[in-house]
Amino acid sequence: MNSYNEMELMIVTAARQLDNDSSVGVGTGAPCAAAMLAQRTHAPDILILFEAGGVGPELRRMPISVGDSRTFFHGVRAGTMGDIMEPCARGMVDYTFLGGAQIDMYGNLNSTIAGADHDHPKVRFPGSGGANDYASYCWRTMVMTVHDARRFVPTLDFVTTPGWLTGGDARERAGLPAGTGPYRIITNMAVLGFAEESKRMHVLSINPGHTLEEITENTGFELLWANDLTETPAPTEKELRILRDEIDPARYFIGRG
């Protein structure tokens, strides 16, 4: 059995969601590592886009920001944020990875404030950046996050980024493109998706070493459970070798565990 830590499992699991010949808008850190891993394994023709304007770079090493020069190296385009968001709005970007301080049962995200008073919050977070645009227009939104009740909350303090809004057809009724929306939530405990009709969050697989009870205790709302609930597959030796030796050899993001 391969030895791996939870971040490595999350990155590998995220990478496996990406199809070859697809496009993905990423930030730095774990989402970028997932896209790079997919490109080096089963999806060699995936197109990676960065919010600051880099399109299709040759990623020999992990960038440290979306504006890092490595996000433009041998790329097909070195543009601006507008040059990235335009193809998203045109329906040309298949996947995006996002994060946030809070997420609710419909996949809506808060990355703006903690607390009810916008002018005097308990904590002020960085805000949307390009997350709202990505989630509004990319076909499939994925989130990578730690699984705990402080993040998985019944009501967001602020809706920074739209998920399925209030469920059902609320997203389409709000004017967002039909067929777009949250797809997968990848945590250190589980992989979650969304019920087809209600758009409620449901658990698809449980990560090795975790339990149904543990996931329930660390979620601030009632989860649905897939009928064919499985265990999340562990990383392979090849995936771990590429991740550790080629993508993040300094262990900046995957850690040293």
Interatomic CA distance for residues 71 and 73, integer angstroms = 6
Catalytic pick among 8, 51, 214, 237? 51
Q: What are phi and psi of 186, to 5 degrees?
A: -115, 115
Q: Given its phi and psi angles, is residue 108 left (phi above 0), alpha (psi -120 to 50 degrees) or beta?
A: beta
Asked if residues 27 and 97 have their Cβ atoms less than 8 Å apart, the reply is: yes
Query: What counts of helices (H) and strands (E) characterise the chain?
Result: 7, 14
**The pair of three-digit structure tokens given for residue 42, joined into one six-digit string:** 């089963």
Residue with tokens 């930030």, as numbered in its chain: 27
Q: Is 246 a catalytic residue?
A: no
Helix (H) / strand (E) element for 50: namely: strand 47-50
Interatomic CA distance for residues 9 and 238, integer angstroms = 13
Asked if residues 97 and 14 have their Cβ atoms less than 8 Å apart, the reply is: yes
The DSSP secondary structure of 154-220, one letter per residue, reads SS-SS--B-SSTTSTTHHHHTTPPTT-EEEEEEESSEEEEE-TTT--EEEEEE-TT--HHHHHHT-S
Q: Which residues are annotated as catalytic?
A: 51
